[in-house]
A and B are shown apart, each in its own frame.
Chain A
Amino acid sequence: MKKIIIITVVFLGLFFASSCENELDQNSPNDLTEDQYWKTESDAQAGVNSIYAMFYKDGLWARWIYFRLDLTSDEGYSVSPWTELADWTRFNYVNYNFWEGNVVTWRDTYKAIFRCNQVLANVPNITFQNEEDKKKIIAQAKFFRALHYYYAAILWEDIPLVLEPSKTTDNPAQVNVTEVYAQIEKDLNEAFTDLPPSWGDDQTGRPDKGAAKAFLAKLYMQQHKWPEAKTALEYLITGPGAKYSLVSNYRDNFTDTNENNNESVFEIQFGDQRKGGTGEDQNAAVSSNRGQFFAPRGIGWSDGQARFWLIDAFKQEKNKDGNLDTRLRWTLYYPDLLADFGDKTYGRNWEWNNNEAWFRKGSRDYYRDNEDYYSQVNYRLIRYADILLRYAEVLNETGNTAAAYQYVDMVRARVNMNTLATAHPEIGNDHDKFLERLKTERVLELAGESVRWEDLKRWGDLNSQAAVDKIALRDPDFNNFVVGKNHRLPIPQNDANNNPNLEQHPEY
């Protein structure tokens, strides 16, 4: 017995001494490693799809970017009891590392760009059966890289330009916003070449040539490159890409019942199939949280609401039948909604203050009396009405005011409004008056659709104290606005302090 034990012990000892070092190689049994990926067409397809998934992240189009684009503008504001959250919609920036107000949108923007860069770096090395499919995938990645840089440039302006897949030690260099614009232009032009004019029914939601041209037009207009913008817009209106029209029911742009319709130029596809969070977990949601955050108190978090001057703006002009502009009905919840149009607010009588209003676009009150984190209503990022009004603006800027009228009228006619010339004969061909009216037209048509902030910037309304004072009359938050400073956000402090190639904006 004793011998057996001794032999066993010695044997065991020797066995483990010799075999154990081989076991020091442990590979994860759970996931593919990066070097096993980017080999097949389906890898490329899932890879480019991952860029779309960035729309569902809270820093971007699931949630917080609306606070930057809609609430910071004079259309919206916040009285959230979460003071810092509200402060970031009224130019009270103290902590530049504030996650929800600044950092998460910055982070998710670059997260999206990282995904684009992975596709752009890896997909060219994959062999495809059909080279066209490969080109389309690369073109989508370029389109989205341009899209995310576009909004980053609107928000922060001078930012680091990252064009290669990231490494942990990267310190990307900050460039002037004009360089950012130049890169966006390059990406969009290249995307336009390889994107299809349209996608099949099962691929709806991917950008087509029209979407690329529409973003090019936005980009040119922000830089006041009017002739280039004109050319880009003409592709959609009169050129080979002229496949759009306005849907007869204005509200069809804001519900899930007529999605990806003829008016939609580029639409973010949301769904409610997955009930997870906005992170990278297994059940990560594919939804928008906007409704939950913007719905009135007692219904949603009520962190964002609409300025009351919008109601007055709508009520300035009656429609052809002498009734209120129906766009008011579908744009806002306001105290007289029931009296004016017979609609309750999520089934409730008005129980909020008499000077309050809430955004209605995208809300789901047509079939439920509350919101949640899983709104499936697609977000029409660019719709044809926006394109038409932009075209009118470009024509006005290029000295062709008279020709611009018809495009404004198309938008007005859809909601039974008189022609612009009839309603506002005083404008004539006066460039400034036309532009001033167009600003209102854009609000009436597009309020709460995340275009107001870039509009204000493009029109120079944030560049002078006089202009800002005028805005402050309708949005007192602009009393905090410092000209030369608050037209852009501070760079998140963590990145500014830790990247030797990135400086905080001097005014911060």
Chain B
Amino acid sequence: MKTKFTQILKQRYYLLFFFSLLLQQSYAQQQITVKGKVTSAIGESIPFANVIIKGTTNGAVTDFDGGYTIAAKSNQVLVYSSQGYKSKEVSINNQTTINVTLEEDIKSLNEVVVVGYGSQQKKDLTGAISVVKAEQIQKRTVTTVAEGMQGLVTGVKVRGGGRPGQEANIEIRGLKNLQSANPLYVIDGLVTTANRDFNPNDIESIQVLKDASAAAIYGSRAANGVVIITTKKGKKGPLQVEVSAKTSFTSMPTYDLMGTEEFAKLNNQAYDNAGLPRQNLNMAVDTDWQKAVFKSGLIRDYNASVSGGGDNSTFFMSGNYFGNEGTVVGTDFDRVSFRVNSSGSKGIFSIGENLAISNAKTDEMAGNPIIDVYRMTPTIPLYDAANPGGYGYGKQGVADTFGTNPLAISDFANTINENFRIRGNIWSELKFASWLKYRFNFGYETSVDSYSFLRKVGNWSLNQPIDPSRINQNKGRSQTKLFENTLTFKKEFGKHDLTILVGQTFQKDNYDQIYGEKLNVPINSGTGDYYDVLNQGNNPVVGGFRNEATLASYLGRLEYNYDNRYLFNAVMRRDGSSKFSDANKWGNFPSVSAGWRISNESFFKSEFINDLKLRASYGELGSGNIGNYEYKSFINNFGQIVLGNTQSLYPSATVVRLSNEDLRWEKLKQTNIGLDFAVLNNDLRLTADYFIARTEDVLFGFPLLLTTGSDGGEPISNAATVENKGFELELAYSKKINDFSFNASINFTKINNKLVELGNGQNEFFSGNTITREGSAVGMWYVLQTDGLFQNQQEIDNYKNADGKVIMPNAVPGDIRFKDINGDGDINNNDKEIVSSPWPEFEMGLNAGAEYKGFDFSMNWIASHGATVYNGFRSTVDRFDDNSNYRAGIQPWTPENPNTDFPRITKGSNLNSRGDSDRFLESGDFIRLKYIGFGYNIPRSVLEKAGIARARLSLSAQNVITITKYQGLDPEFSNGNIFERGADIGAFPNLKTYSFGVEFAF
């Protein structure tokens, strides 16, 4: 397969090389010929640099050695430019040899930033937009783009994990709604998702639109922020080929658990304390479940790209293979992706396309081995022929646990997800005049999804009924069609610089799926495996559905710049969505922003301050991020009933789920105040932003009163008002001294989340051990509070409320003392209160890099402070009323060992074991070396003979140093439940990853 792929690539290579030759055009005129060499400050030649005759479109491109030849008139001026360098102008003045040294442009103030339906210069921005360097993401080993952005951008919080194919959660400027915090991704103008089937190596640049004014152009889908991804494009010049390969080894963090001997001691003690007969433990067995289930993983990431172009056309193509053999048995992720784009122009007309094809296949994790490895006791053997299926698990009176044997479930319950996606767009532009441009964009995305679940016969836990074999499959297809028409007017009138954009877009999404299930799937006697198709078996169930949604929008933007001092920007978008009833279909989303470039004022005279700009913006964004047809109630006719002497089935149909017909757009109102500042010859730069984001009419399905009798998912309503206030700061310094250059930046994000109001007449919402209540942040810890241990009976007898009632009369010395918060002399639900927050007070990132000659080094630290998290691991292994393995070395309270904070252990039921207490809350503070890497660029002199333009070797490591007091596997865990973000319930940890990479360009 892989060789075939390479072959195809090779064939394309020659084909494209041939085309690229045709496209090469020279502009020889009968003038003088200028030759020369373009080099960098350290003397390295710069290939593919542009050499343009000023005021014309004529130019040349430097070759591998930086050499160029150009014909020009002797009085003309040549403009030398190359990506990453400051451009330079040189008058020819009859010279025939001009060697130019370009300075590296590390300040990037003149960067062009893509802002949605257009671009702006970074210096002219009035909104809060962050730019992420693609190479920062690409040098990490990541599955998704989001994961690669961790710690690089202020205001962007990313939480991922190391499960193969796991998609990281990303949250821009706090939790602004309650449905999904994921931002809108726009890839090459196509509104889409950058999920695991998107290859991060194809990225040229990423901009994160964080405030309302920046994102407003995307209107109703931009409430969570927008991540604009531009993929790599071909550049004018000869064919460029880049090949890279990276191999990474991953390893699982592990728990420190007991072996049989230590386990038996404590298990017996727990039974003794409960007055129960001890278990007949199997002391001959000493299973290390982690050893059996966890292994070292291997990630392979191979990329090849070919690009090139001439004056009127460019192309780019790439192929990628990403394979992740997981650190847990039975997990695997494979992605093959292919991308091509090209563009061409003739006269006022230009046209281009982007096309990406990918196939991603995930062998999903079965059950949760992260939990299972500690729920299984060491006295249980891996295999036990006496059990159906042959795996060991809990046994009555011997190893009383309902823990799941992770090897068994991985064998007997196999889930495979696969999707094949085509994502692309075709655009064309008509440039009627230098100041007027029309653009049509047609985007199309389709994904063919297939899901397969095969349940084989066999058991994985105690008392499990013997289920028949079962196969459940579904095939789905999603399609998105996007039509966009935009007209851009851009003109300078003296000191007035004006850009006006108007446009109209229409998007149609549909998804249809068919599913089927059969029981009693037989084993194919030919292969010895179960049939994994729906052809076999009995008790068939089939079904299917189709969802359709449409969105029509009108948009407009006005950008005005007066003398590079006063900047003004206004955006209006009007969206109509099929997801709302006729009365509420349309929403208007306006925004305005302004900037004042103080440093350009005539009164501002400072050699020290190079740039000073104030920014302010206000905008309203919408969200209609809900399912289709939410505003209607439907009849569920899935049920049947048994009646009659023959016990036959009869139909049943009724409304099961209520709905809200007056659903309307969720509205985010965001104010942003920002400052850009640069000193020391632009070496030290600071960007600071303060924002208030208030989301009203948050669309969410809070639980209805149960007395409504509604079931089948909570109906969506405009249910809450959420507010996020935050402060972001980025400080960057870069300096170059001869051959040595270095850069460092710190980013700091502080966000205060608050639920301002719960709608629907509700007061509180509970989820797990959290409460969401008006006036405090979403998902605060709401638990019983512990107050040390009772050391003796006297302490228990003296623990009374104001009325003299003994509060915990059934306690025994060594038990936890709980606080009787409401003073009623009893410990119950009413003694719970908010004790702490799962939200960090602030999060930080530190990025630093250095280069010396061919060597480079970079690292990225992240830190989080102030969050309280729930250690689900401890809440399971420290409870003792339900058997599990235990943490090695714990010292529970006994009369002989009273000086401990670990309560008396007992197999019986008492308050000690309750999970809803602060006993399992811990500080989630951590500092982590997210990435550290070294690279070496092999000197050009060595490579030249081999015809290689660039070669680089790199060594890197991820997640290798973590400073934390958290006792779970990973303080940087993620929980997809918005209300329980701080609960670490078997979250798949981030993995220590060691990578070796090679890159070639020729």
Check A302 against B637 for contact (C-beta < 8 Å): no
* A166 and B550 contacting across the interface, CB-CB below 8 Å: no
Q: Say which residue of B508, B706, B712 sits within 8 Å of A23 (CB atoms).
A: B508
Q: Determine if A454 is an interface residue (Cβ-Cβ < 8 Å).
A: no
A498 contacts across to B, CB distance below 8 A: 705, 761-764
Q: How far is the CB of A432 from chain B (nearest CB, A)?
A: 34
A495 contacts partner chain B, Cβ-Cβ < 8 Å: yes
**When the two chains form their complex, are residues B711 and A107 in contact, meaning their CB atoms are under 8 A apart?**
yes
Say yes or no: A372 contacts B465, CB within 8 Å.
Answer: yes
Q: Which residues of B contact A248 (CB under 8 A)?
A: none
**In the complex, what residues of B have CB within 8 A of residue A114's CB?**
655, 708-710
Which A residues touch B911, using CB under 8 A? 94
Which residues of A have CB within 8 Å of B479? Answer: none
Return the chain B residue nearest A260 by Cβ: B645
Of all chain B residues, which has the CB nearest A81? B882
Q: Does B642 lie within 8 Å of A118, measured CB to CB?
A: no
Q: How far is the CA of A210 from the CA of B455 in the complex (A)?
A: 46
Counting CB contacts under 8 A, is B650 at the interface? yes
Please name the residue on chain B nearest to A27 by beta carbon: B629
B916 to chain A: closest residue by CB: A95
CB < 8 Å neighbour of A31 from B401, B582, B636? B636
A312 at the interface (CB under 8 A from B): no
B946 CB-CB contact with A under 8 Å: no
Tell me if B649 and A281 are in contact (CB < 8 A).
no
**Min C-beta distance of B594 to chain A, whole Å:** 31
Please, which residues of chain B bring their CB within 8 A of the CB of A201? 644-646
The smallest C-beta distance from A271 to any residue of chain B, in angstroms, reads 4
- A75-94, CB under 8 A of B: which get 1 and which 0? 00000011100110000111
Residues from chain B with Cβ under 8 Å of A162 in the complex? 707-709
Whether, in the assembled complex, A9 has its beta carbon less than 8 Å from a beta carbon of chain B, the answer is yes
Q: Which of A280, A301, A494, A508 contacts B639 (CB 8 A)?
A: A280
Decide: A286 and B629 in contact? CB cutoff 8 A.
no
Q: Please state if B642 and A111 are interface contacts (CB–CB under 8 Å).
A: no
In angstroms, Cα B450 to Cα A508, docked, is: 50
B909 to chain A: closest CB distance in Å?
A: 5
Enumerate B498-542 residues with CB–CB distance to A below 8 Å.
504, 506, 508, 517, 519, 539, 541
When distances are taken between beta carbons in the complex, the residues of chain B under 8 Å from A103 are: 706
- A3: min CB distance to chain B, Å: 10
Given A46-B651, A97-B766, A24 and B552 contact (CB-CB distance below 8 Å): yes
Q: Is the CB of A283 within 8 A of B763?
A: no
**Cβ contact within 8 Å between A169 and B761:** yes
Residue ID in chain A nearest B550 by CB atoms: A23
Asked whether any CB of chain A lies closer than 8 Å to the CB of B658, the reply is yes
Question: Which residues on A sit within 8 Å (CB–CB) of B438?
Answer: 9, 13
Interface string of A364-406 (1 = CB under 8 A from B): 0000001111001000000000000000000000000000000
> Given contacts A26-B628, A283-B541, are A269 and B647 in contact (CB under 8 A)?
yes
Which residue of chain A lies nearest to B710 when distances are taken between CB atoms in the complex? A166
Number of B interface residues in the complex (CB < 8 A)? 102
A51 to B639, CA, bound (A): 10
User: Provided the pairs A26-B578, A168-B704, A205-B643 are in contact, do residues A20 and B506 lie with their beta carbons within 8 angstroms?
Assistant: yes
Residue ID in chain A nearest B760 by CB atoms: A169
Q: Does B918 contact A (CB under 8 A)?
A: no
Q: Does the CB pair B703–A494 fall under 8 Å?
A: yes
Whole-angstrom CA separation of A23 from B578 in the bound complex: 8
**Complex contact A37–B635 (CB within 8 A):** yes
A21 at the interface (CB under 8 A from B): yes
Q: Is the CB of A110 within 8 A of B400?
A: no
- Cβ–Cβ contact A16 & B485, under 8 A: yes
- Tell me if A167 and B708 are in contact (CB < 8 A): yes
Tell me if A168 and B710 are in contact (CB < 8 A).
Answer: yes
- Asked if B144 lies at the interface with its beta carbon under 8 angstroms from chain A, I say no
Q: How far is the CB of B266 from chain A (nearest CB, A)?
A: 17
> B658 to A166, Cβ gap below 8 A?
yes
- B residues in contact with A273, CB < 8 Å: 640, 642, 649
Assess the B882–A30 pair: CB atoms within 8 A. no
Closest B-chain residue to A170, C-beta based? Answer: B708
CA of A56 to CA of B705, assembled, Å: 22
Are A50's CB and B508's CB within 8 A? no
Interface contacts (Cβ under 8 Å), in number, total 300
CA distance A14 to B519 in the complex (A): 53
A286: B residues at CB distance < 8 A: 640-642, 649
Nearest A residue to B826, CB-CB: A482
A297 sits at the interface (CB 8 A):
yes
Task: Evaluate contact between A371 and B829: CB separation under 8 angstroms.
Answer: no
The answer on a CB contact under 8 Å between A280 and B552 is no
Contact of A23 with B552 in the complex, beta carbons under 8 Å: yes
Q: Known: A31-B636, A280-B656. Is A299-B628 also a contact (CB below 8 A)?
A: no
A254 at the interface (CB under 8 A from B): no
Say whether, besides A21-B576, A28-B632, A13 and B642 are in contact (CB < 8 Å). Answer: no
Interface string of A14-57 (1 = CB under 8 A from B): 00110011011111111111101100000101110110110010
Could you tell me if B463 and A299 are in contact, using CB atoms closer than 8 angstroms?
yes
Out of B347, B632, B709, B763, name the residue touching A497 (CB < 8 Å). B763
Bound Cα distance A282, B515 (Å): 11
Asked if B764 and A497 make an inter-chain contact with CB atoms under 8 angstroms apart, the answer reads yes
B967 CB → nearest A CB, Å = 23
Q: Which chain A residues border B517 with CB–CB below 8 Å?
A: 283
CA A493 to CA B763, docked complex, whole Å: 12
Q: Mark B427-453, 1 if CB is under 8 A from A, else 0.
A: 010100000001010000000000000
Instruction: Enumerate chain B residues within 8 angstroms of A46, measured Cβ to Cβ.
Output: 637, 651-654
Distance to closest chain A CB from B349 (angstroms): 6
In the complex with contacts A97-B766, A280-B636, A49-B650 CB distance below 8 A? yes
> Is B95 in the interface zone, CB < 8 Å from A?
no
Q: Which residue of A lies closest to B582 (CB)?
A: A25
Nearest-Cβ distance from residue A44 to partner chain B, whole angstroms: 10
- Check A101 for interface membership: any CB of B closer than 8 A: no
Known: A114-B708, A168-B704, A171-B761. A280 touches B644 (CB 8 A): no
Cα A182 to Cα B712 in complex, Å, equals 31
Cβ proximity bits A281-312 to B, threshold 8 Å, 1 near / 0 not: 11110100000100001111110000000000
Instruction: State the Cβ distance, B658 to closest chain A Cβ, in Å.
Output: 5
* Chain A residues, Cβ within 8 Å of B707: 110, 160, 162, 166, 170, 172, 495, 499, 502
Distance in angstroms between the alpha carbons of A21 and B575 in the assembled complex:
10
**Is B913 among interface residues, defined by CB-CB distance under 8 A?**
yes
| Minimum C-beta distance from A357 to chain B (A) | 16
A96 at the interface (CB under 8 A from B): yes
- Is the Cβ of B717 less than 8 Å from the Cβ of A168? yes
B346: A residues at CB distance < 8 A: 2
Interface contact A282-B652, CB-CB below 8 Å: no
A339 within 8 A of B: no
Query: Does B167 reach chain A (CB closer than 8 Å)?
Result: no
CB of B652 within 8 A of CB of A500, answer no
A470 CB within 8 Å of chain B: no
Q: Determine whether the beta carbon of A34 is less than 8 Å from that of B549.
A: no
The distance from the CB of A39 to the nearest CB of chain B, in whole angstroms, is: 11
**Distance to closest chain B CB from A352 (angstroms):** 8
State which residues 713-728 of B face A: CB under 8 Å: 715, 717
9 new A-B contacts at CB < 8 Å, known A31-B636, A32-B634, A87-B909: A5-B351, A30-B547, A50-B639, A56-B639, A201-B644, A205-B642, A280-B638, A495-B705, A495-B706
- What are the 9 tightest A-B residue pairs by CB atom distance, in nearest-first order? A114-B709, A50-B654, A20-B506, A271-B642, A26-B578, A166-B708, A46-B653, A31-B634, A110-B709
28 A–B contacts, CB within 8 A, in A order: A9-B430, A12-B440, A17-B485, A24-B576, A25-B582, A27-B629, A28-B634, A31-B634, A32-B653, A45-B651, A49-B653, A50-B641, A50-B653, A53-B641, A83-B909, A94-B827, A110-B706, A169-B760, A170-B705, A172-B705, A259-B647, A270-B642, A273-B640, A273-B649, A280-B636, A280-B638, A286-B641, A498-B762
Task: Tell me the A residues contacting B by CB distance below 8 Å.
Answer: 2, 5-6, 9, 12-13, 16-17, 20-21, 23-34, 36-37, 43, 45-47, 49-50, 52-53, 56, 81-83, 86-87, 92-97, 103, 106-107, 110-115, 118, 160, 162, 165-172, 201-206, 259-260, 269-271, 273-276, 279-284, 286, 292, 297-302, 351, 370-373, 376, 490, 492-495, 497-500, 502, 508
